[in-house]
Amino acid sequence: MPIVEITLIEGRTPEAKRRLIARVTDAIEESIAAPRDSVRIILREIPALHFGAGGKTKEKTEAPSG
Q: Catalytic residues, which ones?
A: 2
3-state secondary structure of 42: strand
Round to whole Å and give the CA distance between 52 and 18: 25
| Dihedral, CA of residue 11, residue 43, residue 13 and residue 59, to nearest 10 | 10
